[in-house]
Amino acid sequence: MKKLLLTGLTLTAAGMLAACGGGKADQGSAAADSKADTKAQASADGETAISLWTYPVGKWGDAATVDGIVKKFNEKHPEIKVTVEYLDYQNGDDQINTAIEGKQAPDIVLEGPERLVANWGAKGLMVDLKDMFEKDAASDIYDRVKAACESPEGAYYEYPAFMVAHCMAINKTMFEKANALQYLDLDSHTWSTEDFLKAVQAVYDSGQQNVGAIYCASQGGDQGTRALVNNLYSGTFTDKDHTKYTADSPENIKALQAIVDQAGLNFDPSIAGGDEITLFRNGTLAMSFCWNASQQTNTDNGAAGLTNAGDEIIPMLFPSDDKVTELCGGIWGYGVFNNGDEKKIEAAKTFIDFVCNDESEVKESVKASGFFPVRPSVTGVYDGTDNAETMKLFEDKFMPSMGDYYQVTKGWTTARTEWWNMLQRIGTGGDVATEVATFTKNANAAAAQ
């Protein structure tokens, strides 16, 4: 059994960034109270009141930022009143599911296809936004993004706004001390599987016992552990058509066994992705598997691109046997719950069109996310900002490696749970092939329902 032993450390709520998106989530009121408030704000003069519930995607989880966006929207559309509920990734799904059960679902939700399309959309709860995709503003949305927002039946349950390719990162000081930088290609930010394992061994031999953590307390940040496993020996998580899970391939079994055997890579069932980021920033870990552009530019604990102690953070593509990495992508946008009120539905579409397509607002909406636009025609988002150079780096070196968006495969919620449960079993001595077979059986059973 390999387990990361962490003592004397209190993990703060700021570290609990389950989707590795950066930013802090303000705590909202209870779902029922929010719905009641929204109803009360529908005035007698015909004003339409709609509710927006947003997960903490960058500063879309920050009330001051979102209030500013809503204020600008109301300058053009004073007839629509928008109230906002701020969710987190620990309780957000439960809040929405409770609201759905109570027939008090929000009008708009900001999140990704795995929830909007593969979950609530597949259950028939969302409005088909196909008409928004037929407008000129949507004509150059990247094809791979459009595909992720479309259901198998051809309905569009998400209108996309921004995206990112998730990656990993290393502590440059620790790697320099271990003479491990020789194993990285710092021009392309790539490394081979062989060089990755050599680097981990070198850092471990230098006295850094906890080089990297295979966090598995929950699904938080699980895109990092999936990408690590899938890339080491060019395995896949699902088939190309997103009909079944393929984690039990020989390539993935080989990758997981290599992680088990490698000193310095420790399975830890006590932490999730957000916790791992905290441990990386404070120097407990030499690398993070839960990283992206938003993390690289985060200034909550100090200067952007540095650990708490001031060590330089170098973002890296995940290692692969052929040095061709496929990064897990994040796509975020807006879905509209079908609450049976056509006036509210049209008002919700008007708001979405404003934040995604209005020339005066679209760049600010993307900038608030800390990520990248889903349309190539939206350019210069970060020009003139302190983060311009860093964002250009990610745009040039990381975004082209964004891989298949397999998170829309049926049974996704079950598959995520089965993944971290599988990692826990492997970390406590379970046979890799046996545990991966269990994962695949259970995930595919959910996909077949």
Residue 210 tokens, joined:
């906890």
pLDDT (0 to 100) of residue 295: 94
3 state SS of 337: strand
Assigned CATH for 167-326+410-447:
3.40.190.10
Distance from C-alpha of 214 to C-alpha of 227, rounded to nearest angstrom: 12
Distance from C-alpha of 227 to C-alpha of 218, rounded to nearest angstrom: 16
pLDDT (0 to 100) of residue 89: 85
3 state SS of 179: coil
Question: Are 145 and 370 contacting, i.e. CB atoms less than 8 angstroms apart?
Answer: no
Which contacts (CB < 8 Å, 24+ apart) does range 6-13 have?
A: 6/268, 6/270, 6/271, 6/279, 6/284, 9/279, 9/282, 9/284, 11/271, 11/275, 11/278, 12/278
CA 72 to chain centre: 27
Residue 332 tokens, joined:
């975020």
pLDDT (0 to 100) of residue 273: 95
Runs of H (alpha helix) within 283-341? 293-296
Nearest partner of 81 among 347, 431, 433, 263, judged by Cα: 347
pLDDT (0 to 100) of residue 415: 96
Distance from C-alpha of 310 to C-alpha of 173, rounded to nearest angstrom: 9
Q: In the block, which residue shows the tokens 């989880």?
A: 61
Q: What is the pLDDT of residues 121-159, one digit of tens each?
A: 999 999 999 999 999 999 999 999 999 999 999 999 999
Q: What is the DSSP letter of 243?
A: S
Please report the DSSP string for 107-119 in residue order: SEEEE-HHHIIII
3 state SS of 222: helix
Vertex 313: Cα angle to 311 and 318 (nearest 5): 145
Quick one: fold of 31-164+329-388?
D-Maltodextrin-Binding Protein; domain 2 (3.40.190)
Residue 185 tokens, joined:
């290609």
pLDDT (0 to 100) of residue 52: 98
Using left for φ > 0, alpha for ψ between -120 and 50, and beta otherwise, residue 362 falls in alpha
pLDDT (0 to 100) of residue 358: 96
The ranges assigned to domains in the chain are 31-164+329-388, 167-326+410-447
Distance from C-alpha of 438 to C-alpha of 129, rounded to nearest angstrom: 38
Nearest partner of 296 among 394, 363, 228, judged by Cα: 394
CA distances from 17 to 5, 108, 127, 329 (A): 21, 22, 29, 16
pLDDT (0 to 100) of residue 38: 43
Report the DSSP beta bridge partners of residue 48.
Answer: 80
Domains 31-164+329-388 and 167-326+410-447 share a fold: yes
CA 431 to chain centre: 29
**Residues in the chain with pLDDT values less than 70:** 1-45
Nearest partner of 403 among 230, 283, 199, 284, judged by Cα: 230
